[in-house]
Amino acid sequence: MSADLLPGLDGVAPQPGVPKPDPILVVRGVERSFGGLQAVDVAHLEVARGAITALIGPNGAGKTTLFNLLTGFDHPDAGAWLFDGQPLQGKRAHQIARAGMVRTFQLTKALARLSLLDNMLLAAPGQRGEHLGGALAGRWRPQEARNRTEAEGLLERFGLAAMRDRFAGTLSGGQRKLLEMARALMARPRLLMLDEPMAGVNPALRQTLLAHIQEIRREGATVVFIEHDMDVVMGTSDWVVVMAEGRLIAEGPPAAVGADPEVIDAYLGRRHGKAAEA
C-alpha cells in the first residue's frame, strides 16, 4: 500500500463522510433517483488531495452513477460539490474537464476512425485554434507543435508510440484502456477519475496500468478509481470509500475497511456469518 506517503491521513477517523485535512473534492447532499430507485444518496464525501482513493461496493451500489453526476454526464436531483473550492454543480461535462476533473469510462470512448495521435490531440486543453480569431491569425501553430510533442511523449510512455497513426478502432481492448488513460492525462487533470480501469484486462496489463496510476499520483495528481478486485484495492489505494445501495457505508485505510463487518455484509449478505457458524 502507498498510505505511508500520505501522513496527513494517519489521524483521519475511518467513518463515512469524515472530513480530510486538505480535500480537493467535497460532495454534499448529492442525490439521484431513477423512478422509485434511489441510486445515489451521498450526504458528505471528501477526497484527500494527492491520494489514490478507491471507490468500491457491490454491483448496483451507485458508484458509476456518482461518477456520472460529479463529471457532468448526468444531473443530480439535489446536492452540490466543490472542486478545489470551485462549485461545479450545473456545469457541463467539458467545463468540468477544463476545470481539471477528468474521467475515463468502463467502456472506452476512443474515436474509432481517428488515429491514436488525433485522439490525443483532441484532449489538449485551451486550444487557440478552437476560436475564430486565433485560427485566422495562425496563433495556434506553436501551440499545436507543443501539443503534438506532448501527445507523442504520452503515447511513448504508454507503449503506443508505434501505433500513433493507426485508427483507434483497430486497437485491442487492453490497448484502448491504455489510450484512454493517456488521453485523460493529455487534458492535464488535477483529479483523475478512473471507472474500472482494470476491467477485462490480462494480468500483465493490469500491472502496467497500476504502475501508471501510481506514477500519476507521484507526479502530483489525485486519483479516484472504481474497482472490484480487492487485491488491487488493498495493494494500491491510500484510502477506500465503500458504497452500498447508493449510500456511503464505510471509508478508511484499506486494512480497516477490509475488516469492517458492514462492508463484509454488503458484499456477502448479512446472513453469511450465521451460515459459516452452522
3-state secondary structure the chain: CCHHHCHHHCCCCCCCCCCCCCEEEEEEEEEEEECCEEEEEEEEEEEECCCEEEEECCCCCCHHHHHHHHCCCCCCCEEEEEECCEECCCCCHHHHHHHCEEECCCCCCCCCCCEHHHHHHHCCCCCHHHCHHHHHHCCHHHHHHHHHHHHHHHHHHCCCHHHCCCEHHHCCHHHHHHHHHHHHHHCCCCEEEEECCCCCCCHHHHHHHHHHHHHHHHCCCEEEEECCCHHHHHHHCCEEEEEECCEEEEEECHHHHHCCHHHHHHHHCCCHHHHHHC
User: Which of 108 and 117 is assigned the larger pLDDT?
Assistant: 117
Same domain assignment for residues 12 and 144:
no
- Position 179 scores a pLDDT of 95
Same domain assignment for residues 83 and 22:
yes
Same domain assignment for residues 74 and 199:
yes
Same domain assignment for residues 254 and 208:
yes
In a domain, 73, yes or no: yes
- Position 275 scores a pLDDT of 42
Same domain assignment for residues 58 and 137:
no
Same domain assignment for residues 89 and 224:
yes
Q: What is the mean pLDDT of residues 37-60?
A: 95
Provide the domain limits for residue 91: 3-110+190-277
Same domain assignment for residues 121 and 106:
no
Q: What is the pLDDT of residues 198-237, one digit of tens each?
A: 988 888 888 999 999 999 999 999 999 999 888 899 989 9
Which of 71-80, 123-132, 137-146, 258-267 is predicted least confidently? 123-132
Same domain assignment for residues 70 and 196:
yes
Same domain assignment for residues 130 and 236:
no
Count of structural domains within the chain: 2
Same domain assignment for residues 164 and 64:
no
Q: What is the pLDDT of residues 240-260, one digit of tens each?
A: 999 999 999 999 999 889 888
Q: What is the pLDDT of residues 131-163, one digit of tens each?
A: 455 555 556 567 678 889 999 999 999 999 999
- Position 199 scores a pLDDT of 86
